[in-house]
Amino acid sequence: SNLVSAYVSEAERDAEVSVRPKRLDEFIAQHRVRDQLDLLLQGAMRRGAPPDHILLSGPPGLGKTTLANIVAAELGTGIRVTSGPAIERSGDLAAILTSLAEGDVLFIDEIHRIARPAEELLYSAMEDFRVDVVVGKGPGATAIPLDVEPFTLVGATTRSGLLTGPMRDRFGFVAHLDFYAPAELEALLRRSARILGVPITDEGAAEIAGRSRGTPRIANRLLRRVRDFAEVRADGVVTVETARAALTVYDVDALGLDRLDRAVLTALVDSFRGGPVGLSTLAVAVGEQPDTVEEVCEPFLVRAGLLARTPRGRVATEAAWHHLGRTPPNGTFG
């Protein structure tokens, strides 16, 4: 997988565990979400009841899975982890739900991808802590009502708009995670380096932070690659020089753009004179699904001020032309 993709492989999950914050006060930045979650959890603990169901939305790699685990840790409960695509039949979900212990957290990643029958089963579990399991087929089929222990669902999705209305309505608490500011990623990198036992200068942390696309997962990954370089080709200290040299080797550009980001911008500028161009046309030009372009690339490109979404289509900004080393056409901007 690409070095600056926010998506995670199973192997990388293991590498991530050592630096993953375990408690709310170790979670860097996102102060508003942290504060709101703190109140929600403390309130629930005072009443001795599970908190409302929690929906976390935001691009991959910003800390949704981490927060779900933190919720369970703060509540002192168990956690079951699954994902929308993993729940193929409603029976799979019923089995999970009926095996929960009282107060457990059920984390469903990519909850917007859950199959419709399972989604309907989830509604009644969320609302009434019971599910109807249908046994048999045809006229002889019977619905057996089963109790579910009171639990807290933590759902994660890239955008809350991807959920059906009835699903969204069943979450009492909805939080949106936003990309991290460079200074926040610097703090995160210093924390990770401390845990990994890697000496790092403030300037070294800043250099990595600037290329991390506002994403903790990418910051931690680049830190691991820069550490390799610092240990193999330098004295082991992560400085601005080792960071720059390492990230040049790994072909991560100054803004942290990856192949697909650059392909999208290059297509916009070279094939469509900067746009506007429709999402599906743009997606075809880079050989990707429109969803991938929209969900994976665009959030960061928009945030970085390189791409604009207009009613007439996608447009490359002046900064995008400059970043690609092209001269923007006269009169288009300003």
Copy the structure tokens of residue 178: 């936003």
Scored b (16 or more CB within 10 A) or e, 119-145 reads bbbbebbbeeeebbbeeeeeeeeeeee
Give the nearest distance from C-beta 110 to ligand ADP in angstroms.
10
Q: Is 127 annotated as a binding residue?
A: yes
Q: Kindly tell me which of 162 and 284 has the beta carbon lying closer to ligand ADP.
A: 162
3-state helix, strand, coil in the chain (%, to 5): 50, 15, 35
> 3-state class of 255 per DSSP?
coil
**Could you say which of 51, 60, 103, 299 contacts ligand ADP (CB under 6 A)?**
60
Handedness of CA 123, 124, 128, 133 (dihedral sign): negative
Q: Annotated catalytic, 64?
A: yes
Q: Is 225 annotated as a binding residue?
A: no
Q: Is 16 in the site for ligand ADP (CB under 6 A)?
A: yes
Q: Single out the residue of 44, 96, 118, 188 in contact with ligand ADP (rule: CB under 6 A).
A: 188
Structure tokens at 236: 């082991």
- CA–CA dist 309, 295 (Å, integer): 13
For the chain, helix (H) and strand (E) counts, in that order, are 15, 9
Which of the ranges 74-82, 216-224, 254-262, 274-282 carries the binding residues for ligand ADP, by CB under 6 A? 216-224
CA–CA distance from 189 to each of 36, 50, 86, 217, 322 (Å)?
25, 33, 32, 10, 29
- 21 near ligand ADP (CB under 6 A): yes
Region near ligand ADP per CB under 6 A, out of 23-31, 243-251, 255-263, 300-308: 23-31
Per the listing, tokens 């990388």 go with: 12
Side chain identity at residue 149, one-letter code: E
Q: Is 109 a catalytic residue?
A: yes
Q: Does position 212 bind ligand ADP by CB under 6 A?
A: no
C-alpha–C-alpha distance, residues 85 and 220, integer Å: 26
Window contacting ligand ADP (CB under 6 A); options: 12-20, 117-125, 225-233, 273-281? 12-20
Q: Which one of 51, 61, 214, 275 is in contact with ligand ADP (CB under 6 A)?
A: 61
- d(CA 51, CA 10) in angstroms, rounded, equals 30
- 34 marked ligand binding residue: no
Taking CB under 6 A as the rule, which mask of x and - marks residues 219-258 in contact with ligand ADP?
-x--------------------------------------
CA dihedral 216, 218, 224, 230 (to 10 degrees): -110
Largest CA distance in the chain: 75
Residue 325, Cα to own-chain centre: how many angstroms? 30
End-to-end CA distance of the chain: 38
Q: Does the protein bind ligand ADP through residue 27 (CB under 6 A)?
A: yes
Q: Is 303 a catalytic residue?
A: no
Q: Is residue 84 at the binding interface for ligand ADP, with CB under 6 A as the rule?
A: no
> What CA–CA distance (Å, rounded) separates 126 from 129?
6
Task: Give the count of residues interacting with ligand ADP (CB under 6 A).
Answer: 20
Which amino acid, 318? E
Return the range that interacts with ligand ADP (CB under 6 A); candidates 27-35, 82-90, 288-296, 319-327. Answer: 27-35
Nearer to ligand ADP, 60 or 275 (CB): 60
62 binds ligand ADP (CB under 6 A): yes
Is residue 131 helix, strand or coil?
A: strand
Known catalytic residue: 281? no
Is 158 one of the catalytic residues?
A: yes
238 vs 282 by CB, closer to ligand ADP = 238
Q: Which residues bind ligand ADP (CB under 6 A)?
A: 16, 19-21, 27-30, 60-66, 156, 188, 216-217, 220
Active site residues: 64-65, 109, 158, 217
Residues forming the annotated binding site for ATP?
20, 61, 64-66, 127-129, 170, 180, 217
Residues forming the annotated binding site?
20, 61, 64-66, 127-129, 170, 180, 217, 309, 314
Residues forming the annotated binding site for Mg(2+)?
65
